[in-house]
A = this chain, B = another copy of it.
Amino acid sequence: MSFRDYLSEGRSIFDRLYPDNKITEIDYEGSTIVVYTKDQNLFSQRDDLARQIAQELRRRIAIRPDPSIMSDEKEADAKIRGIIPSDAGLQDIYFEPDTGEAVIEVDEPTIANPEIIKSIKAETNWSPRIVRAPPMYSRTVKEVREYLRDVKKERKEFLHNLGIKLTTPLMPGETWIRITALGGHREVGRSATLISTNNSKVLVDCGMININDPEHPWEEAPYLYAPEIQPFTSLDAVVLTHAHLDHSGLLPLLFKYGYTGPVYSTAPTRDLAALLQNDYLKVSHSENHKLSYESKHVREELKHTISLKYNETADITPDIRLTFYNAGHILGSAAVHLHIGEGLYNVVLSGDQKYEKTWLFNPAVNRFPRVETLMLESTYAGRDDYSYTRNEATNTLIDVVNRTFDRGGSVLVPVFAVGRSQEVMLVLEDAYRNKMIPENTKVYLDGMIMEATAIHAAYPEFLNRDLRDQIMIKRENPFLSPIFTSVETRKQRIDVCDSPESKVILATAGMMNGGPVLEYFKTLSADSRNTLAFVGYQADGTLGRRIQSGASSITLSDGGKSTKFDINMAVENAEGFSGHSTKRELLNFIGGMQPRPNRILVNHGDGNKCYDFARLIHTKFGVEAISMKNLETTRLF
């Protein structure tokens, strides 16, 4: 069926099921058919009716109030503030014109009764959604939300045009599916994989290696000049597995060079990616590096992002349907399930994944409706990679803190703002509450860690249940524990450095290739009472790896001049906090997969890891397993 056919069929189903429907408009927004009505009743029953019609039409349906009957946002805001009782603890009201919802954030959502709901509807014609106010304030979440409201007109037009594209009839001809490795294959970093069919082109991830090697600048980026992906206007969709820069870092570049299509991600990935991209721009700018794009391209990316929940399915091209599944790696991280053709082929791209319940997340999902090919990461699939559990890592870290404090030293933990920071915070808070570390322990957080933590708190549905429950009760929210102090200014940082007392410092960047961690390192490195504790992977060529490998001194720029810093502080590894599966976990993930795929493509591993792990999989499970090289293309079908 074509665009018009679907709309008129949708209309006639409505007319049949609900004749006096006062529908004013029926249109596409992305893959959803949106129906506008002046009938408040129809609007209210929309969930049931929409489900029924969606089933008949095999398209998603959204029913919304006709804008002409809705109050304007300012007026509605005032009316709602008048209706919500004061003991509800109203925190914020924001409007989602996309859906006609007024989201009302309160401390006590139990206050919402049918009476209140009904009167808000009657007064404003917005549909109220009363939710618990997020326990922490995130500037990123707030700004993204405001920005999306500012560009709602452009976004609506974009979604409308996308809807037309999505209902384009398929081209006749042979059916085939290709997968092209553009980056992050047989290496870690600059992840980018293209799936093309005879009808469409979908890029999964568009990362960077943030190495700043002026001799080989091209090694930072995936092979984006490959003809398979040029021009970018030929791309139909971009899918983002998670926010880490090695997956999202060059996504704004696509918009700089002509891409105008959709980006699909979870909502937290959208927000975190924008945070990390803007931070990358800020840091690179301050270091006078050549920038690949500007912040306006990050905004373009936001404007074109369509967020999906885990397990929610969306048509992203006329022949490809996308579903995200929890990957357990960082907040919002997802495995990408692509259903291609009508029952023709299914491919899952694992993204980065952790097949273990962590302090933050549930283990990666390994059950899918169908899957013929799996693309699987292998970061820690090597023979000599760590294989510690969360428990072991936790004990090691607590031990490191205690030993260091005992000798009057401080612990510096290089962390990425997103993921490992929150995990280490939870470990320290838990140890503190259970009196396993000194009562006077202070933990300083420097470099966006608090902001990243607040984003976690804004998306409790993406956390594991235990943590979700804890966060929702203010007194129990571990992130709000008094042991944590966020370092916000340069002066504060100097004070923390200068204070003689023992403390724990979590600071970015996680591999010490820049960021505030270097300032702390400079102050702490010479004193043998201190400890540098690594809790995450240190890639080849990073300062972290050099120190981890036993460097006795390091030369860094200090106040503009090159200075040698002796490393007398202890260097310890609290391995096991990784967001990546161990080799054993990867094998268990495959072993327990339902259904078992026919073919596994191993990527995201250093050196020979991808190749060796593919051989191991082949031997162990008897399925075809290969590791592609970047710039190679394999036929899936």
> Which residues in A have some Cβ–Cβ distance to B below 8 Å?
173-174, 176, 178, 180, 196, 216, 218-219, 227-230, 234, 629-635
Contacts and interface: CB of A to CB of B under 8 A. Distances in A.
B632 A634 contact: yes
Contacts of A176: 631
Closest 6 CB pairs of A and B: A633-B633, A629-B635, A227-B227, A227-B228, A173-B218, A632-B635
B629 A218 contact: no
Given A632-B632, A633-B633, 5 more contacts: A174-B216, A196-B227, A630-B635, A631-B635, A632-B634
A122 to B, nearest CB: 56
Contacts of A178: 631-632
A265 B518 CA distance: 62
Contacts of A180: 633
Contacts of A632: 178, 632-635
A268 B230 CA distance: 38
12 contacts: A173-B218, A174-B216, A174-B219, A180-B633, A196-B227, A227-B228, A227-B230, A629-B635, A630-B635, A632-B632, A632-B634, A633-B633
Contacts of A229: 227
A83 to B, nearest CB: 57
Nearest to A172: B218
Contacts of A227: 196, 227-230, 234
Nearest to A228: B227
Contacts of A228: 227-228
Contacts of A629: 635
A180 B228 CA distance: 11
> Secondary structure at chain A's binding surface: helix, strand, loop or mixed?
mixed
A631 B633 contact: yes
A213 to B, nearest CB: 12
A196 B223 CA distance: 14
Contacts of A631: 176, 178, 633, 635
Nearest to A231: B227
A228 B216 CA distance: 24
Contacts of A635: 629-632
A269 B6 CA distance: 55
Contacts of A633: 180, 631-633
Contacts of A173: 218
A301 to B, nearest CB: 23
A470 to B, nearest CB: 49
A229 to B, nearest CB: 8
Contacts of A174: 216, 218-219
A178 to B, nearest CB: 6
Nearest to A630: B635
Nearest to A176: B631
A173 B196 CA distance: 26
Nearest to A628: B635
Contacts of A234: 227
A176 B225 CA distance: 13
Nearest to A634: B632
Most B CB within 10 A of own CB, among A173, A632, A633: A633
Nearest to A177: B631
A228 B225 CA distance: 11
A219 B176 CA distance: 13
A186 to B, nearest CB: 10
A488 to B, nearest CB: 42
Contacts of A219: 174
Nearest to A217: B173
A578 B629 CA distance: 38
A173 B221 CA distance: 12
A230 B196 CA distance: 15
A234 B218 CA distance: 21
A635 B185 CA distance: 12
A535 to B, nearest CB: 33
A230 to B, nearest CB: 7
Contacts of A216: 174
A178 B632 CA distance: 8
Nearest to A196: B227
A316 to B, nearest CB: 19
A55 to B, nearest CB: 35
A288 to B, nearest CB: 22
A10 B229 CA distance: 42
A173 B174 CA distance: 36
